[in-house]
Structure 1
Amino acid sequence: MISYIESFKKVSESRLNDHLIFWAKTERKGKSKTEIKEQGLNIYNVSDVESLIDTALERGELLVLDITEADRTFSLSDDGKLSLAIFLTDNFCDAYKAYSIEVDAFTEETKQLPLSKMTIMKYFYRGHSINMLKENLALANSSNTISIAYHHHLISNFYGITSLEKDACTFHFAPRLYVPPEWIGRKVTIEIEGLDEPVKLVVTSPYPNKRYYVAGVKLGRLNTANGFYPVIKPRDSFPAHKELLLRWKLDDEIRIDHHLKLNFKFTNSQGRFFSSEQQLLPDVAGMKKFTLTTTIDHSTLSERNARVIVHDIFNHYEIHEDATLVNFPMELHHSVKATSYFSKWYKSWTAEKELI
């Protein structure tokens, strides 16, 4: 359970229930009653999950981030993270220590960004040899060529830049809005102040979770729903800071002004890519994963040290937020691409690769 919560940083109780019950059911197949009990797979219903949650709360391994009438949201406490680390590494045994040193040596030798300690712990727990880990990283890098190809495609088609200069650094900005359930289905528009050049954005709700709205540009008849690239400059002239104002409107009745102060921080020599979706695969040491999302949810904003001001009897919301984006290699970028535009591009891209 705590490993699952660690993977997603925060998880609702309902989602945790569904995951653990399904996972235990899958893992029980072919096992005896004794094995099921010994391996902690005797999770059959919500009450069983509640018992696990209560135990973790008593041990101080979980933090309750939010409570509503229908749900609770959890994250791991420092004690929870330590318990997970002890479990994954067999109490930081000598074999794990040697394994961790070898993994770090491999990433340094191959000039890759170092893996996070939790990623290394999970590889160790699963019994992945160093050779298996190398194969997994090679496979991940191969898969992530899709990310590079897609970003280059969008940059080429929208900006006419067919090939990025060797020292060019890129800022990918994908404005995203998360609304309360009662706002689902409203027409949403966005305007952005603070850009060097104005850009016309189209807002859609492309994901199964219709509480999310994403801004993108229109190429042909389809909307990319993948943001845009407001800064493409050499490192020595790349801005250290940028202030933006995102003006969201819902049915011209509700307005959300999101004031963003962005700091661009170069922490390594390998990366020339910044994104408001700072999601990487695999996890990199010292690299915080997050997605900048406009929301009026107070618990989410408090986690991000952002604040919201409500005006005009709940029709006008003003959010103030500072965020630091860190450079990383474009090939490590991992983002949701559940759009018809991406599907069309991917089909064409794979067909071209087969012809080569």
Structure 2
Amino acid sequence: MDKALANLLRRFQLKMPPITEKRILKEVLDDCKEERKKLSKEEIKEKGLNIYEKQGIRVSELLNEAIKRGLVDAIYDDCGERKVSISQEGIEFLTRFYTNDFSDQYLQFEKEINQTMREHNDLELNQLHIASLFWDGFNAKDVFENYQKSEIQKEMEAYHHHLLQLNGVSDLGEKYIFHFMPKLFLPMEWFNTNAKDIVLQIKGIEAPSEMILTKPYPNTRYVVAGMKFGREKISSGFYPIIDDKEDFPEKLDITLQWSIGDYMKIIHELRINFAFADHAGSFFSSEQYLSRNSNLNEFDLITYVEKDAELWRDRNYLYHSKPGEVVIEENVTLSHFPIKLHFPSFDPDPHFRKWIRKWREHSALNVI
């Protein structure tokens, strides 16, 4: 049963919001079906892959067993649909399973990977991820080399440097950067509101003189702050702080005041704590998402108009509302990391798509 539970739990990604029961059951069935190919019946059973919808180990019963053991957390949304996520107990169970209960071989593997990352000025991996790599038979050298080959990392570093150059910054040296990307998530009844009818005023930092608001995403409930350079409109935030470590603030109070026409005002008061730690990187972002696994928390400081626990998740905030006005007080800690690891939501931005197409064409010519 432990192997079957591990095959269920490994489908859950760390730090992800709860997903529907229907989705996780389908993904587990699809995974097991794929992994059963070319295996004998004995091998299938030995690996705990005998998970099916209506025979063997029934996937729905397996999920219920995981919930019963406290390995999976379950909640019901407003529509009565059950959503699930891996619990801390589930993470610990999976880690022990992958590492053969923290065997000497695993501990040596973990030490080698972390040492390799530190030696190359890179972030260490999350322990569960290291454990899964150990279980899958990787060695430390191959893990690091695979990450070094990442085209996503090369592209993101190059694009940020492109934006910084547009801002007149060509030589960063040892300076730290704060990338700020204000976003507003409109209530459903206002999703058709034109970005021109929305105003953003920022206090606490100097906003770009050519700051613009656009709706670049397929989900038109999002409004994103960016910059304008000549005819170019860029929906990728901006860089209000670029400074040496000793001059970089440890705390910063920023107030975002969003106005939707004449009928709604949203005031988002942010207390930002910049956490300086003994790990790689000099880049902070309000969209703290990374392209690979790490020990850092991941989140996006989106301003949500609605008090919806599923949207805000575990963010540290207070919500106050009255007719025509919403006030949000939020305390957040940002962590620095290498700029190449940033994984923001730039893809829908026309400027980014144009730039990335040229970058890839240029890279392909250099390979030939």
Residue 170 of structure 1 aligns to a residue in which SS? Answer: strand
Alignment correspondent of 2:4 = none
Distance 1:15 1:256, change over 3 A: farther
Q: Which of 235, 248, 252 is the aligned partner of 2:258?
A: 248
**1:310 to 2:302 alignment:** no
For residue 168 of structure 2, the aligned residue among 160, 164, 170 is 160
TM-score normalized by the length of structure 1: 0.86
Q: Counterpart in 2 of 1:226?
A: 236
Structure 2 residues not aligned, in runs of 5+: 1-7
Maintained 8 Å contact 1:306/1:320: yes
Written as runs of structure 1 = structure 2, the 5 A alignment for 1:277-356 is: 277-285=287-295, 287-295=296-304, 296-299=306-309, 300-301=311-312, 303-312=314-323, 315-339=324-348, 340-354=350-364
What is the RMSD of the two structures over their aligned residues, measured on CA atoms?
2.8
Q: Secondary structure at the match of 2:149?
A: helix
- Secondary structure at 2:84's aligned position in 1? strand
Q: How does 1:5-154 map to 2 (within 5 A)?
A: 5-13=12-20, 14-29=22-37, 38-43=48-53, 50-64=60-74, 67-69=77-79, 71-140=81-150, 143-154=152-163
Whole-Å separation in 2 of the counterparts to 1:213 and 1:20: 35
* C-alpha contact (below 8 Å) 1:5/1:11 kept by paired residues: no
Paired residues for 1:191-210 under 5 Å: 191-199=200-208, 200-210=210-220
Contact kept? 2:203, 2:256, Cα under 8 Å:
no
Deviation at 1:279, TM superposition (A): 1.6
Task: Give the match for residue 185 of structure 2.
Answer: 178
Q: Share of identical aligned residues, percent?
A: 30
Offset at 1:310? 1.4
Q: Residues of 1 paired with 2:34 and 2:325: CA distance? A: 47
The question of whether the paired residues in 1 share the 8 Å contact of 2:118 and 2:124 is answered with yes
C-alpha displacement of 1:8: 4.3
Asked if the contact 1:309–1:318 (Cα under 8 Å) also holds between the matched residues in 2, the reply is yes
In the alignment, structure 1 segments of 5+ residues that lack a partner are none
Name whichever of 228-237 and 106-115 sits farther off.
Answer: 106-115
Number of corresponding residues: 348
Partners of 1:11 and 1:75 within 8 A in 2? yes
Q: Aligned partners of 1:27, 1:254: CA distance in 2, in Å?
A: 53
- Residue 227 of structure 1: how far off its partner (Å): 1.0
Task: Give 1:198 shift.
Answer: 3.1
Cα displacement string for residues 300-335 of structure 1 (whole angstroms, at most 9, x for unaligned residues): 4361121211111xx422111000111111112122
Provide the rounded CA distance (Å) in 1 between the counterparts of 2:342 and 2:54.
Answer: 37
Q: Deviations over 1:233-284 (max 9, x none)?
A: 1212111111111222345433322111111121136321100111223323
- Secondary structure at the aligned position of 1:344 is classed as helix
